[in-house]
Amino acid sequence: MMILLMGPQGCGKGTQGEKLSGFLNIPLITVGDLLRDLSQTHPRYVELHSVMDKGELAPFDLVAQLIQEKITALNCGSNYILDGWARSLHNLNFFDPNPDLVLVINISRQESVRRVSGRRTCETDGKVYNIYTLPKEEVAKCAGNLVQREDDTEDAVNRRLDIYQTETLPVIEYFKKRGTKVIEIDGEQTPEDVFKSVTANL
């Protein structure tokens, strides 16, 4: 089964993708991880990070290439979960995953900004904390310095949400018209309740 995860920034796609990957025993491919893990020696590294630091989308051809390389490396055929692709109809010209299911996790703009702008990354171990949703004692366990990524500032988040409204929502409508099964879930529940809603609709 090929599942395409969609939803605005901070909706919990990563969390639900990991849970679903374990539940279905199929790999999760996350575009954000592919981009962040890109080697500094890659010929397009500087171009990519210049774009991402402004909160803009990465070059489609590069992302499509990285996804297909990962699918090949995993040898998973058409059995995987993809998070972070098909953010515009134009994406599908570079790579159409032909999903069996499109899973959309919805949250409000206000909640999206709150969640993403609250993210902090530990400079020591790379662990991500959220100053708004994690208990203070959990955040205090971090032994290193907590920093905010440049693409997690409120301005950068709002720019990406504008892109989501104008570019990504039409993709969801496109899949509906194509006859692909599309499930929309309320992402403002607890992660456990979101997952229950997801599995109940598979």
* Non-local CB neighbours of 133 within 8 Å, separated by 6+ positions: 115, 118
CA dihedral in degrees (159, 168, 134, 120; nearest 10)?
-40
87 is in an annotated binding site: no
What are the chain's domains? Answer: 2-200 (3.40.50.300)
Backbone angles phi, psi at 112, to 5 degrees: -60, -50
pLDDT of amino acid 139: 62
pLDDT of amino acid 135: 63
User: What CA–CA distance (Å, rounded) separates 16 from 169?
Assistant: 20
160 is in an annotated binding site: yes
| Maximum alpha-carbon separation in the chain | 50
* Non-local CB neighbours of 1 within 8 Å, separated by 6+ positions: 24, 26, 78, 79, 100, 101
Backbone angles phi, psi at 163, to 5 degrees: -65, -40
pLDDT of amino acid 136: 64
Residue with tokens 């997952």, as numbered in its chain: 195
User: What CA–CA distance (Å, rounded) separates 91 from 85?
Assistant: 7
10 is in an annotated binding site: yes
DSSP-derived letter for residue 151 is G
76 is in an annotated binding site: no
12 is in an annotated binding site: yes
pLDDT of amino acid 17: 96
The size of the chain, in residues, is: 202
Residue with tokens 């374990």, as numbered in its chain: 22
136 is in an annotated binding site: no
Supply 86's token pair. Answer: 């098909």
159 is in an annotated binding site: no
Supply 167's token pair. Answer: 């570019």
165 is in an annotated binding site: no
* Non-local CB neighbours of 64 within 8 Å, separated by 6+ positions: 85, 91, 94, 95
User: What CA–CA distance (Å, rounded) separates 195 from 15?
Assistant: 9
11 is in an annotated binding site: yes
Please say whether the dihedral angle defined by the alpha carbons of residues 41, 156, 129 and 139, taken in this order, is positive or negative.
Answer: positive
pLDDT of amino acid 143: 66
**pLDDT, tens digit only, all 202 positions of the chain:** 999 999 998 999 989 999 999 999 999 999 988 888 887 888 888 888 888 777 677 888 989 988 998 999 999 999 999 999 998 999 999 999 999 999 999 999 999 998 888 888 887 777 777 777 666 666 667 767 888 877 788 888 898 899 999 999 999 999 999 999 999 999 999 999 999 999 999 8
Burial (Cβ within 10 Å: 0-12, 13-18, ≥19) of residue 123: exposed
128 is in an annotated binding site: yes
36 is in an annotated binding site: yes
